[in-house]
Amino acid sequence: MSSVVVLDNGGGLIKAGFGGDRDPVAVVPNCLGRPASSKKWLVADQLLAAESDIAAVSIRRPFDRGYLINPDLQKEIWDRVIRTLLRADPSTSSLLLVEPLFNPPSIQRATDEVVFEDLGFQSLFVADAPSLVHLYEASRRPVDGLAAMAQCSLVVDCGFSFTHAAPVVQNFTLNYGVKRLDLGGKALTNYLKELVSYRSINLMDETLIIDDAKEKLCFVSLDVLNDLQLARKPGKDNPFRCTYVLPDGITHTRGFVKDIDEAQRFLSLPDGCSTTLGIPVVDSQADIDKREDRKRMDMNKSEFNLTNERFLVPEMMFCPADLERELRPLVRDDYRVKITSQEDPIKGVWRGGSLLASSPDFESMCISKSEYEELGSTRCRRRFFH
């Protein structure tokens, strides 16, 4: 039996591995980058190398607004991931590819051309993220639990370029019920770039650095108004204040959090409440002077501070506990509602694909290279219509 390569091809990250495995072999950026100090373009995992200088990196992505726009660039990234990182031979392997919902036919044809003609895979199966998440979550829950017995679920997928709310029934996504919001992780990174650049240091060209700071330091606030009051406190009394050190290109080529313990102080706060709740904050002259000092630009700084920027992001982000509080009044009383968050949101879709790829009848669900050559992309793709 041939091996099955599972490829979750996201706009920000590629998750790649083999069917039946617990975790992907590689989780790498789906882009090419060229540092300002070099003329060489770095591909995918090369951007994660410790010796790579990611300061002022020019980035080229094959995806824009959630859809593939540059198949040639995507082919170059896939070729490195599959042949170098996975060490797989496409001619003896099948491919399970995760595509965005509502993928236009022209992009589907370009994808099939790369898969069969350029890379030479022997067969292909195309899946969407919501159905794979439903499959994986149902498989890991107790057999008598609600999530395992449920025939339907609503999957909210916050991705790199957009957010989808997709109903899934018996492992099939109902496309006519999907709602899409053109807001995702990329928008949050750009928003944080603007905040930091306006208040501290100009980092508008440092996408990878700000992205790293966002993933390490930002969180979801369940009580924005109360957290804003806490964020106005000076010095060590501010539980959100933390420092991110920028790379200098000499002693360290990566940014890092200056004090992990300081950055995690907010975790010890009571959930949704604080001693300052409902108490108006009166600014003293010392607090006003400190804020004015903070506004003055220091051109020699190699670090920046974050306070309310850590949670003051567009409200598309949510917490399962808060979502249940809002959703329960909208659902009939005789309906049971169970809201779960994935143990690892980055790998959840891939794990569902790995589970599907290890099923005995997977090969019968694929389209083969000979079928593609005989029937063409459009007719072959009808097999994946729901």
Structure tokens at 177: 């019920």
The span from the CA of 296 to the CA of 105, in Å, is 53
Question: What digits encode the pLDDT tens for the residues 230-272?
Answer: 888 887 788 888 888 888 777 777 888 888 887 788 777 765 4
Mean pLDDT value across residues 10-32: 91
Whether the per-residue pLDDT at 11 is higher than 50: the answer is yes
The span from the CA of 371 to the CA of 78, in Å, is 23
Residues 6+ apart with CB under 8 A from 32: 41, 42, 43, 44, 59, 60, 73, 76, 77
Mean pLDDT value across residues 200-209: 85
| Burial tier of 346 (Cβ tally within 10 Å: 0-12, 13-18, 19+) | middle
Question: What digits encode the pLDDT tens for the residues 308-326?
Answer: 766 665 444 445 556 677 7
CB 247 within 8 A of CB 254: yes
Mean pLDDT value across residues 336-354: 84
Q: What is the reported pLDDT for 170? A: 82
The span from the CA of 195 to the CA of 301, in Å, is 17
| Mean pLDDT rounded to a whole number for the chain | 80
Mean pLDDT value across residues 137-143: 74
- Cα-based distances in Å from 364 to 27, 361, 368, 377, 381: 28, 6, 9, 17, 14
Q: Which residue has the higher pLDDT, 75 or 282?
A: 75
Q: What is the reported pLDDT for 209? A: 87
Instruction: Work out the pLDDT band at 32, boundaries 50, 70, 90.
Output: very high
CB 167 within 8 A of CB 154: yes
Whether the per-residue pLDDT at 132 is higher than 60: the answer is yes
Residues 6+ apart with CB under 8 A from 124: 94, 95, 97, 112, 115, 116, 366, 367, 372
Whether the per-residue pLDDT at 284 is higher than 50: the answer is no
- Cα-based distances in Å from 72 to 60, 98, 260: 12, 18, 41
Question: What digits encode the pLDDT tens for the residues 79-98?
Answer: 999 999 999 999 899 999 99
Question: What digits encode the pLDDT tens for the residues 356-376?
Answer: 999 888 888 889 899 888 888
Which of 385, 362, 357, 383 has its CA nearest to residue 371?
Answer: 383
Type of residue found at 12: G
Q: What is the reported pLDDT for 290? A: 45
User: Distance between alpha carbon 157 and the CA centroid of its chain, in Å?
Assistant: 9
Whether the per-residue pLDDT at 44 is higher than 90: the answer is no
